[in-house]
Amino acid sequence: MRVNIDGREIETKHKKTILELARENDIYIPSLCDFKGLEPFSGCRLCLVKVEGMKGYVPSCSVFVKDGMKVKTKTSDIQKLRKNILELILTEHPNACLICEEKENCDEHKATIRKVDEVTGCVLCPNNGRCELQNVVREVGLEKVRFPSFYRDIKVKKDDPFFDRNYNLCILCGRCVRVCRDIRGLSVITFVKRGAKTAVGTSFGRSLLDSGCQFCGACVDVCPTGALTEKAVKYDSPPDKKKDTVCPLCSMGCSLEFNFFKDKFLGANPAGSSPVNSGQACVRGRFALRDVVRSENRIRKPLIRKNNQLEEATWEEALDYASEKIKKYKPDEMAVVTSPQLSCEDIFVFNKFAEKVLKTKHINKKAEGSPLSLVSDACRKNGISLPMQFKLDDISELDAVFLMGGNLMESAPIVWLSVLKALDRGADLITAGFLESPVDRYASKKLRVTPGMESYLLAFLSKCILDDCGGKEFAAEKGFDEFRRSLDGIPYKYLEESTGISIEAVKQTADILRKRDKSGLIFAPQVIGREREEAAAEALLNLAFLSDSRIFPLSVEGNHRGWDAINKDFSEKTKSISEIWNSIKKGQYKALYTAAPLDIPEDDGLELLIVQDSFTGDDLDKADVVLPACVLSETDGSIVNTEGRIQGLRGPLDSLGDAKPDWEIVTKLAGRIGSKDFGYTTAGDIRKEMARKLPRFKDISQTLPKRGKEVFLKEDNEYRKKYIPLNPLNELEKETPQYPLRLVLEHGFDYYRNCLLSEEIAEFDLFRSKQWIKMNKRDTQKYELKEGFPVTLKSKKGQFKGFVHISEYVPEGIVTAYYIPGRDENRADLNLSPVKITRGK
């Protein structure tokens, strides 16, 4: 296509708007409402241009270029019109500074004036220097405003966490409204009222917390003015440096930019060009990460227990102390606990250390509640092979999405964005879980299954498919007969009763999954107990075979896939963190080296406990030696995200205190003990060895992959099916008058090593607290409880405490609490059992 803009002939291939083409070619057209990735809005009217053959002035943001198109962007009438429009915008926005003749002088001499609350001009505005309105005024060259100013005088909204909303500065470009609705699928904010009173707000003016806001920060990032500003950096200068990195807080591995001003770390923004998160993030990466990595609770120096007190020590002392102690233990007397929140390099070195130095088989290699681990274990156990890696685009291209395991907005917000894209294209969403969730409003079918009965629901679906199609086409496949017999043995009526779902709903779902071209089963994390989780993973595989659906097993922690891949290459023997925890309880080990947070029991019988962590935690109380580890953002390791994408962290931050990367600590320790196999001086040295030794890491090299360069874990391409017969489940204990409620644990995601986000960050606690005991409003009325009341949950097996949180998503008769593997094992024992709730601490 050839397009003529202001007399310049421009060649272009792709479909794009006049505005996009002009920008690519450095032709300036002012615009305030247009934003990359959002549908054209055409509200600010600043980008009006003349197009030959089109009536009047047309907004260049919404007109696509055509071959032979002739565009004028700078005629005098356009420029006059633009000035007039901009002038109107400025009547609704404090404008004194924008058109002030002393502007430059002021910038120079009053650089730090803006520490006030009432913003009446740019010098007082937190957005000064990064405001798009300032740029537009400069470019358009407006010098005066002929009309009286209109100050909306709306009270600045500060009661919500993370960011403030000052709608006196809002120019109603609608970017926040659109990003919330169109990209995030939420519509927490919208336009309210009409005429001159039009404003952005929540329904009924409620707080964001009460409006279902997920605090992803997308609105803050698109706001062109100072209307939405992040509290933490509100009064800081605009960053003078940005560094690329990857968020370590969940398995998505979002590309982030760390912002610095004069080397002070200001916080993180999602990176626009990322193939993973394309400019989006979530509350963890956008707001929490800053406070996590620079927490007051970071361990800055090695500690050694002397006279029953942990005392600061040098690295020399601590390593000597630890290595001397370790040397005393025979193979298998010592256990090692690693975590999927370590980098690949760390995990590799830990495994090697356990194998070569400690010669112990007791290293945890399995995670609870992680769909990825569950499905891959089920495959391994049954000789099944199928692709388990994917790209997010594979999800956006689905025609039917079966989502098992609850609230994707919380567990994997970026995966949810891909689901939304599929829905936009007309895909059907079916949600299956025991709780309601905010994603349900998009579901064409909601299957509210009885907690714990997920595998039966999946079997129910399989049975419906088989009975519908006769099953002949599968007859020759491995394990089919036995599987079919196991289904035939269970009558529909029993399935209906045990899952709580009608056969009609299941049949319709089965129909959708089987008949759509591209159906996908997204398996999101949930906690329903080990056996039930395993049974669910197996049942899911069966369903995938029968419905020809693809499985998307999600992972939980930052480097879950990397951890899983490395562990498997070391030894087949699997142990989960809770098995190790239980063994500690039984006094099976004499010594423990942990790099994952653990609740160590009172009388553990351990002779030696080495804790390696970045944050102080309860496990330090028992530790004999504490080794301060860097957070991932301080290392140049690599992590593998939920897709299987290997990404480099590129250490944007300097290490805090004396903290060292985990791999380096282990390497030094190995050296002290006398091993010659750990000659690494950089993470790159480890990668070199990994690429050689681990087939799945064949594609990595000493230097880290750059952002945008796609490096994935190698995957076995073989497709081997086998049906697994349905395992009968134990019946759940029934509720009694004494224990009238059922506790269902929800997977907690808001932690990084020993740091609990809601404990670390007061604002996070308002948004989502680890201490919440969620229940239905009617139940709170029944038990005379109110929001925030301290309560104790008791079952026959034990008890724990928390605070009441009323949630519309929890059905009556159920209470939920968060569970984090390893550190909440006392809660795990109570899962799915009847409980009673009592007031008081």
Partner 1 sequence: MKKVDPEKLEKLRAQITASREKEKTCITICGGTGCHAYGCEEIAEIFKNEIKKQKLGDKIDIRVTGCHGFCERGPIVVIQPEGIFYQRVRKEDIQEIISKTAVGKEVIPRLLYKDPQKGVRIEKEREVPFYKKQKRIIFGRNGFIDPTDIKDYIALDGYKAVSKALFEMRPEEIISEVKKSGLRGRGGGGFPTGKKWEICREKDSSVKYIVCNADEGDPGAYMDRSLLEGNPHSIIEGMIIGAYAIGAGKGYIYVRLEYPLAVKNVTLAIEKAREYGFLGESILGSDFDFDISVFKGAGAFVSGEETSLMASIEGRRAFPRQRPPYPADKGLWGKPTNINNVETWANVPLIVEKGAQWYSRIGTETSKGTKIFSLVGKINNTGLVEVPMGMTLREIIYDIGGGIKNGKKFKAVQTGGPSGGCLPADMLDQPIDFDTLTRAGSIMGSGGMIVMDEDNCMVDVARYFLKFTQEESCGKCVPCRIGTKEMVEILTRITEGKGEIGDIKKLKDLAETVKNASLCGLGQTAPNPVLTTLRYFMDEYIEHIEEKKCSALSCKELIVYFIEPEKCVGCLLCKKNCPVNAISGERKQVHVIDQDICIKCGACLDVCPPKVSAISKYTGKDKEKILEQHNRKKTKK
Among 57-65, 203-211, 292-300, 560-568, the segment contacting partner 1 (CB under 8 A): 57-65
Of 96, 103, 29, nearest to 60 by C-alpha is 29
Core vs surface per residue 378-395: b (16+ CB within 10 A) or e: bbeebebbbebbbbbebb
- Minimum Å gap between C-beta 198 and partner 1 is 3
Per CB under 8 A, 81 contacts partner 1: yes
Q: Quick one: 105 or 203, whose CB is closer to partner 1?
A: 203
**How many binding residues for partner 1 (CB under 8 A)?**
34
Residues 28-47 that bind partner 1 (CB under 8 A): 40-46
Q: Quick one: 150 or 235, whose CB is closer to partner 1?
A: 150
- Minimum Å gap between C-beta 201 and partner 1 is 12
Q: Quick one: 149 or 207, whose CB is closer to partner 1?
A: 149
- Minimum Å gap between C-beta 56 and partner 1 is 6
- Minimum Å gap between C-beta 15 and partner 1 is 13
Q: Quick one: 63 or 122, whose CB is closer to partner 1?
A: 63
User: What's the per-residue H, E or C state across 61-119?
Assistant: CCCECCCCCEEECCCHHHHHHHHHHHHHHHHCCCCCCCCCCCHHHHHHHCCCCCCCCCC
Q: Quick one: 78 or 656, whose CB is closer to partner 1?
A: 78
Per CB under 8 A, 198 contacts partner 1: yes
Segments in 651-785 forming alpha helices (H) = 662-673, 683-693, 757-760, 762-767, 777-782
In sequence order, what are the beta bridge partners of 17? 64
Pair type for strands 741-747 and 814-819: parallel
Of 22, 666, 646, 640, nearest to 319 by C-alpha is 666
In the DSSP assignment, the letter for residue 682 is S
- Residues ≥6 apart with Cβ < 8 Å to 312: 301, 302, 303
The residue within the footprint of partner 1, chosen from 195, 674, 737, 840 (CB under 8 A), is 195
Among 66-74, 82-90, 702-710, 727-735, the segment contacting partner 1 (CB under 8 A): 82-90
Per CB under 8 A, 7 contacts partner 1: no
The residue within the footprint of partner 1, chosen from 4, 12, 62, 727 (CB under 8 A), is 62
Give CA–CA dist 298/793, Å, rounded: 32
Q: Quick one: 41 or 680, whose CB is closer to partner 1?
A: 41
Q: Quick one: 85 or 409, whose CB is closer to partner 1?
A: 85
Beta carbons of 836 and 799 less than 8 angstroms apart: no
Q: Quick one: 69 or 804, whose CB is closer to partner 1?
A: 69
Q: Quick one: 183 or 487, whose CB is closer to partner 1?
A: 183
Among 79-87, 230-238, 247-255, 760-768, the segment contacting partner 1 (CB under 8 A): 79-87
The residue within the footprint of partner 1, chosen from 4, 12, 16, 92 (CB under 8 A), is 92
> What are the structure tokens assigned to 131, written together?
């405001």
Q: Quick one: 427 or 457, whose CB is closer to partner 1?
A: 427
Give CA–CA dist 154/790, Å, rounded: 36
- Per-residue binder mask for partner 1 (CB under 8 A), 496-535, x = binder: ----------------------------------------
Amino acid, res. 760 = E
Q: Quick one: 203 or 502, whose CB is closer to partner 1?
A: 203
In sequence order, what are the beta bridge partners of 430? 402, 445
Of 391, 394, 179, nearest to 279 by C-alpha is 179
Q: Quick one: 443 or 503, whose CB is closer to partner 1?
A: 443
**What's the distance, Cα to Cα, between the start and end of the chain in Å?**
71
Per CB under 8 A, 732 contacts partner 1: no
- Minimum Å gap between C-beta 428 and partner 1 is 15
Q: Quick one: 62 or 237, whose CB is closer to partner 1?
A: 62
In sequence order, what are the beta bridge partners of 8? 5
In the numeric block, the tokens 């070195």 are attached to 349
- Minimum Å gap between C-beta 98 and partner 1 is 16
Among 56-64, 284-292, 372-380, 619-627, the segment contacting partner 1 (CB under 8 A): 56-64
Q: Give the DSSP H or E segment for 229.
A: strand 228-230
Residues 333-372 that bind partner 1 (CB under 8 A): none
Q: Give the DSSP H or E segment for 292.
A: helix 289-293
Q: Quick one: 120 or 187, whose CB is closer to partner 1?
A: 187
Residues 175-194 that bind partner 1 (CB under 8 A): 190-191, 193-194
Residues 135-154 that bind partner 1 (CB under 8 A): 146-148, 150
Per CB under 8 A, 167 contacts partner 1: no
> What are the structure tokens assigned to 300, written together?
């800055």
Q: Quick one: 57 or 492, whose CB is closer to partner 1?
A: 57
Residues 219-248 that bind partner 1 (CB under 8 A): none
Per CB under 8 A, 48 contacts partner 1: yes
- Minimum Å gap between C-beta 108 and partner 1 is 32
The residue within the footprint of partner 1, chosen from 71, 89, 271, 395 (CB under 8 A), is 89
- Minimum Å gap between C-beta 45 and partner 1 is 5
Of 214, 218, 213, nearest to 201 by C-alpha is 213
Per CB under 8 A, 444 contacts partner 1: no
The residue within the footprint of partner 1, chosen from 49, 136, 172, 461 (CB under 8 A), is 172
Per CB under 8 A, 88 contacts partner 1: yes
- Residues ≥6 apart with Cβ < 8 Å to 420: 183, 184, 185, 442
Beta carbons of 743 and 793 less than 8 angstroms apart: yes
3-state secondary structure of 263: coil
- Minimum Å gap between C-beta 89 and partner 1 is 6
Give CA–CA dist 747/313, Å, rounded: 37
Per CB under 8 A, 201 contacts partner 1: no
Measured from the Cβ of residue 839, the count of other Cβ atoms closer than 10 Å reads 13
- Per-residue binder mask for partner 1 (CB under 8 A), 456-475, x = binder: --------------------
Q: Quick one: 28 or 64, whose CB is closer to partner 1?
A: 64
Among 196-204, 265-273, 763-771, 788-796, the segment contacting partner 1 (CB under 8 A): 196-204
Of 609, 655, 664, nearest to 304 by C-alpha is 609
Per CB under 8 A, 719 contacts partner 1: no
Core vs surface per residue 470-497: b (16+ CB within 10 A) or e: ebeebeeebbbeebbebbeebeeeebbe
The residue within the footprint of partner 1, chosen from 25, 79, 84, 203 (CB under 8 A), is 84
Q: Quick one: 89 or 522, whose CB is closer to partner 1?
A: 89
Give the strands of the sheet with 309-312, arranged side by side: 309-312, 303-306, 625-628, 608-613, 591-594, 334-337
Q: Quick one: 88 or 113, whose CB is closer to partner 1?
A: 88
Pair type for strands 591-594 and 608-613: parallel
Pair type for strands 400-404 and 428-433: parallel
Give CA–CA dist 10/4, Å, rounded: 6
The residue within the footprint of partner 1, chosen from 126, 174, 617, 725 (CB under 8 A), is 174
Beta carbons of 354 and 684 less than 8 angstroms apart: no
- Minimum Å gap between C-beta 57 and partner 1 is 6
Per CB under 8 A, 63 contacts partner 1: yes
Which positions touch partner 1 (CB under 8 A)? 40-46, 48, 56-57, 59, 62-63, 81, 84-85, 88-89, 91-92, 146-148, 150, 172, 174, 190-191, 193-198
